[in-house]
């Protein structure tokens, strides 16, 4: 009886977990195979999930977004896919930490079209409603990021429940 209860609890927990968040933008990048050198989009797409995992640097996805534009060009479709990566939610383990990390390197992203876009955060984070609304807004109309890091822009827009990471 205890084994059945444990299995039911485990299945219920898995059902509410946020699996595969890191793979959401991979398809957008993969679809850019008409841009850049043959195979470049696939290689870049393959790198995207690892930049969104809990253990990855918060700046890694911004560096990859810059690489996407550098290697595939500045076509609107390329910029949109790179912007989706910049705005993508970076995973974190709520059992190991209580708040997400956001990049505090003011030089990233270097691509002007990607500056001022802020990321989504896990809905379990206090204040996520504000940040996630800001993220959606920034994809349509990026915030002023002149001389600011993504962390600075996020903070200026009213969300501060995160840890800076350079």
pLDDT at 24: 76
Report the percent of the chain where pLDDT is more than 70.
86
DSSP 80-107: HHHHHHHHSPPP--TTT-SS-EEE--TT
What is the pTM (predicted TM-score) of this model? 0.87
Give residue 21's pLDDT: 58
| Window from 4-13, 45-54, 66-75, 86-95 with minimum mean pLDDT | 4-13
Supply the pLDDT for residue 70. Answer: 98
Burial 38-50, CB ≥16 within 10 A → b, else e: eebbeebbebbbe
Give the span between the Cα atoms of 108 and 142, in whole angstroms: 14
pLDDT at 23: 64
* Closest to 26 in 3D by CA, of 5, 8, 49, 43: 49
* Amino acid 20: pLDDT: 58
Q: In this model, does residue 5 exceed pLDDT 90? A: no
What are the phi and psi torsion angles at 75 (to 5°)?
-60, 150
Mean predicted lDDT score pLDDT of the chain: 88
């Amino acid at each position: 009886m205890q084994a059945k209860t444990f299995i039911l609890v485990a299945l219920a927990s898995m059902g509410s977990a946020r699996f595969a968040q890191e793979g959401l933008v991979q398809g957008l990048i993969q679809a850019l195979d008409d841009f850049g050198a043959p195979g470049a989009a696939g290689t870049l797409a393959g790198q995207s999930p690892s930049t969104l995992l809990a253990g990855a640097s918060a700046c890694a996805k911004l560096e990859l977004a810059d690489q996407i534009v550098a290697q595939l060009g500045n076509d609107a479709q390329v910029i949109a896919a790179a912007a989706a990566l910049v705005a993508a939610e970076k995973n974190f383990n709520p059992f190991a930490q209580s708040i997400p990390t956001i990049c505090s390197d003011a030089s990233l992203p270097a691509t002007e079209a990607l500056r001022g876009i802020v990321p989504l955060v896990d809905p379990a984070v206090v204040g996520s409603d504000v940040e996630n609304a800001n993220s959606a807004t920034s994809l349509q109309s990026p915030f002023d990021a002149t001389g600011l890091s993504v962390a600075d822009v996020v903070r200026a827009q009213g969300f501060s429940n995160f840890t800076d990471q350079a």
